[in-house]
Each structure stands twice: as structure tokens, then as C-alpha cells.
Amino acid sequence: MISIPRVLPFHSHMLKTYGRTFFMWRGPTPVINIMDPEQIKEVYDGDKWAKHRRIINPAFHLEKIKNMVPAFHQSCSEVVGEWDKLVSEKGSSREVDVWPGLVGMTADVISRTAFGSSYKEGQRIFELQSELSQLIILSFQGAFIPGYRYLPTKNNRRMRAADREIQVILRGIITKRLEAREAGEAPSDDLLGTLLESNLGQAKGHGMSIEDVMEECKLFYFAGQETTSVLLNWTMVLLSQHQDWQTRARDEVKQVFGDREPDTDGLNQLKVAISSSGTADQSHSQRDEARRPDATGRRSDKSTYSAVQRDTELWGNDAAEFKPRDSKTVSQRQQRAKSLSFPLRGDQGSALDRTFAMLEAKMAMALILQRFSLELSPSMFMRLTQSYHSPTVWCSSYHTQDITP
């Protein structure tokens, strides 16, 4: 597991020297570090976000999420099928970089479930947001020069162009939906359609603006795509490192599904896979909240979240260890995690967002374990130096008499 003193040495030093709450300067920016979950939640409390949570929650209603499981299966089975062909070409096993497939799979899921009939436009939004993220990362890697971001450099021009295209596509999708509703057409049953219906049902002056809706659509990708792909990647890494738990997870999938297509009822029966993912998911509930401002418009510091995720006072002395529990202990830990999560959409919204992500993750892991066994590539540590979340996994075809590869 990741060592906080190695990854965040200065932050770790400040914690040891000044305790769990301290103040420091980062260049000209004042930073207050807090580790208490209730205080962190206070930072995100505000009328604007409370209003957004109220409007957004219907889009993540449990029954609606269950209806999205076929879309989960379609997107996941396409990627697993591609891996199956790659492995078959080499015989029984080969090295496969699973990260690009996981990114494509989770992006495809959110495009189908968020935009439905506007699926192609949704894919384009993902491509642009991915490019924009990479350009922003590049801009932070250079020396800081005040005002440099306003200069017409190649990267700055491309960032503005990508952002403008995203705005045009999103506004076009939303405008078409609103025009169709005025023409008497039934609303779409995807996330965007449900969000628009909920927003239109608010009293005048209490709904979200078109710009707010567009921002929430962008957040669908960041919260629903990137975190899930990272979760899946690290679940595969952890199962590769702990072969005994991989065997137990595969036996459970075989017992529940055999060689059948995974369905909602069966996915809800999986316990080992979800407890294995739960260890990787310890960071899932906090990760993306750092992307949005708090109630006062201030930005949060991601290093605080990394430290909280492995704080032994909050999670216990084994916070940094891979220890999937039995169902009773897993339930206790999940309840603890719920109280320590800093949700994108409030307590209710957090649970629904998590249900969406975990159903998708369980679908993917069920299909993967039906077809493959996993081992870490010898080049993992070399690749980790290039990207913290993209180790290569050695995927081997898994064959039994009653599970067809």
C-alpha cells in the first residue's frame, strides 16, 4: 500500500510536528490542514450545494441505477472481450496494460447512462475532458509565472478551445432535451434526463441554471468515470498481490453465476469481491471532492484526503493493510466509512453515487474473474514511476469445465 511519509513527506512532517490541525503557507496561499471528518464536512456545507444535492438525488435513485445494469454489462463485456482476444492470440497468457481498457470502459458506461440517446456526444465530451486534464497537468509541471495562463501559447489556446467545445456540446444536448420536452416528448430516462426533470420541477428561482447543469454533467465524468477506473485498477492490483483472495473472489463468482451473464440480484450477493474492492474504495469516497470548491469557493488540498484515508486514529491500526473482512466486519467498516466520507452530493447522494460505482465495479470484476487470472507484471514498479495509477497486470486466461473463456 502507499506510504504517506514517502508520498507526502512535508505533510507527514507537519502532522508529526504540529498535530492534526495546523496552518501553513503554500507560496502566497494560506492553507489550513484539518483531519477531523466532521470539520471537513462543515467546509463543504453551503446552501448552493444543498440545493444541488436535492435536485440531483432523483437521478441516482436506487431503482434507476438497477435499470442501468444492462448498460454496465454491455460496456464491460466489450472490453473484457478485447482482452480475451489479446490473450488468445498469445496462447494462455500475456502481458496486458489494463488501464486504457478500464478508462474506456468506465467512460463508455457514463456516456450510456448519463446521456443515453446522446451517447456519441457524450463520448466526445469525455475525449475533450481527458485532453483538457492532461493539458492542465502539463501546465502545473512548469515553473509558475504570474499571468502565464493568459498568454496565447499553444497549450493555453488548446485548453480554451477544448473547454469551448465542451460547453457547446453540453449546451446543445441540454437545449435539445428542453425543446423536446416542450414539444410534448417523454423525458429521457438517463441521468441527464432525470436531472433536467428534477430541476424543472423546482419552484421558480430555486432550480439550477443551465450553467450549473452543465457543470454537473462534467462532474458525472470525473466522479463516475475516473474514480471507478482507478478503483478497478487497484482492485486488480490487490487481488494480484493476494492470490488467496483472488481465488476466493473467483470461487464466489463461479458459485453465484457459473458461466451465466451477471445480473443485479447476483451482483448483490457478491461479498468477497466487494470486500476486496472496499480496501481500494477506502479512498474512493473522498477522492473527487477535492475537484470542486467548498461552500465559500475555496479549494481543498488533496494531500489532506490522502492522509485521512490512512489515518490509524480513524480507521484503526491496520488502515494501510489489505484486509478484506467477513461480511459482519465488512459491514461495520462500511458503516464507519460512511460516517467518514465527504460526499459529492450529501449523505444520501453519497450512498447512491457509491451504489452506482460499486455495481459497475462488481459487474466488471465478475466478468474479469470469469475469464482471467491476474498476476502483476514484473515491470509494475517501472510503470508506477510514470503514472501512479497505471500498473501493468499480467492477465492469464482462466479455463474450467463449466466457465467458458
Question: Residue 361 belongs to a domain with what CATH number?
Answer: 1.10.630.10
Q: How many whole angstroms separate alpha carbon 169 and alpha carbon 142? A: 31
Domain-located, residue 401: no
β partners of residue 153: none
Higher pLDDT, residue 376 or 163: 163
Which of 47-56, 126-135, 182-191 shows the lowest mean pLDDT across its residues? 47-56
pLDDT at residue 382 tops 90: no
Per cent of the chain over pLDDT 70 is 71
Task: Work out the angle between the directed axes of helices 210-221 and 154-182 (0-180°, nearest 10).
Answer: 110
Residues 242-261, mean pLDDT to the nearest whole number: 91
pLDDT at residue 341 tops 60: no
**pLDDT, tens only, 69-82:** 999 999 999 999 99
Residues 157-173, mean pLDDT to the nearest whole number: 93
3-state percent helix, strand, coil for the chain, nearest multiple of 5: 70, 5, 25
| Closest C-alpha among 335, 231, 232 to residue 287 | 231
**In the block, residue with C-alpha cell 432525470:** 194
Per cent of the chain over pLDDT 90 is 19
User: What pLDDT, on a 0 to 100 scale, did the predictor assign at position 160?
Assistant: 94
Domain-located, residue 328: yes
Whole-number average pLDDT of the chain: 76
Domain-located, residue 96: yes
Helix (H, G, I), strand (E, B) or coil at 294: coil
Task: Work out the angle between the directed axes of helices 210-221 and 98-115 (0-180°, nearest 10).
Answer: 150
User: What pLDDT, on a 0 to 100 scale, did the predictor assign at position 399?
Assistant: 41
Q: Map 193-221 to HEC letters.
A: HHHHHHHHCCCCCCCCCHHHHHHHHHHHH
User: What pLDDT, on a 0 to 100 scale, did the predictor assign at position 45?
Assistant: 62
Q: Give the side-chain half-sphere CA count within 13 A for 140.
A: 6
pLDDT at residue 233 tops 70: yes
User: Is 86 in contact with 384 (CB distance < 8 Å)?
Assistant: no
| Closest C-alpha among 311, 391, 380 to residue 35 | 311
pLDDT at residue 283 tops 50: no
Domain assignment of residue 51, given as a range: 4-386
User: What pLDDT, on a 0 to 100 scale, did the predictor assign at position 307?
Assistant: 65
CA dihedral 365, 370, 371, 375 (to 10 degrees): 60
Phi, psi of 374 (to 5 degrees): -120, 135
User: What pLDDT, on a 0 to 100 scale, did the predictor assign at position 292?
Assistant: 42
pLDDT at residue 265 tops 80: yes
Which of 304-308, 310-314, 365-369, 384-388 shows the lowest mean pLDDT across its residues? 384-388
Residues 280-284, mean pLDDT to the nearest whole number: 49
Higher pLDDT, residue 113 or 286: 113
Domain-located, residue 359: yes
User: What pLDDT, on a 0 to 100 scale, did the predictor assign at position 148?
Assistant: 84
168 CA to centre of own chain: 25
Does the pTM exceed 0.95? no
User: What pLDDT, on a 0 to 100 scale, did the predictor assign at position 128?
Assistant: 92
pLDDT at residue 22 tops 50: yes
398 CA to centre of own chain: 27
> Residue 251: what residue type?
D
User: What pLDDT, on a 0 to 100 scale, did the predictor assign at position 88?
Assistant: 81
User: Is 225 in contact with 357 (CB distance < 8 Å)?
Assistant: no
Helix (H, G, I), strand (E, B) or coil at 252: helix
Which of 264-268, 297-301, 357-361 shows the lowest mean pLDDT across its residues? 297-301
Residues 394-404, mean pLDDT to the nearest whole number: 43
pLDDT at residue 58 tops 80: no
**pLDDT, tens only, 178-213:** 999 889 888 888 888 888 888 888 877 778 888 888
**Non-local CB neighbours of 139 within 8 Å, separated by 6+ positions:** 149, 155, 156, 159
User: Is 55 in contact with 207 (CB distance < 8 Å)?
Assistant: yes
User: What pLDDT, on a 0 to 100 scale, did the predictor assign at position 114?
Assistant: 85
Domain-located, residue 325: yes
Q: Give the side-chain half-sphere CA count within 13 A for 55.
A: 25
Domain-located, residue 392: no
Domain-located, residue 397: no
Higher pLDDT, residue 207 or 252: 252
User: What pLDDT, on a 0 to 100 scale, did the predictor assign at position 349?
Assistant: 43
**pLDDT, tens only, 288-336:** 433 444 444 444 555 555 666 667 776 677 766 776 754 444 445 555 5
Q: How many whole angstroms separate alpha carbon 127 and alpha carbon 105? A: 13
β partners of residue 28: none
Domain-located, residue 114: yes
Count of domains in the chain?
1
User: What pLDDT, on a 0 to 100 scale, did the predictor assign at position 56?
Assistant: 77
